[in-house]
Amino acid sequence: MNEHEKKIKKYLDNVGILFLVVMSDKLRVKPDCYIVQTTRETYYVDGDGFIHSEYPPTEDNIIIDDLFYYYIKDVIGKYNQRTEHSLEQSKKMLNLIK
């Protein structure tokens, strides 16, 4: 088991909850803040680089679990891969339509 797999396993052993990102976007009302909608909850990534459990981001709703950060970065990366693949397929489909 490589280091990446060990960290994911440790997160899952501690928390036991898997989730996927279903949508991410920049908030229009606060341009330096991003929303990350998952199959579990909604999170907010503020311009400070911290992830918050509620909006608006405050010091009271900062998530400080290092393993959570590792896990959510992993699932955001997988979301990006799925989105890129979907975009490529959509472009191919558009080229086929006469």
User: What pLDDT shows up at residue 98?
Assistant: 85
Is residue 17 pLDDT above 90, yes or no?
A: no
How confident is the model over 55-67, as pLDDT tens digits? 999 999 999 999 9
Is residue 44 pLDDT above 90, yes or no?
A: yes
Fill in the amino acid letter for 97: I
71 CB burial (10 A radius; 0-12, 13-18, 19+): buried
Prior bond to 31 cis, omega within 30? no
Mean pLDDT of 52-80: 95
Is residue 96 pLDDT above 90, yes or no?
A: yes
Domains in the chain: boundaries:
3-96
- Whole-prediction pTM value? 0.86
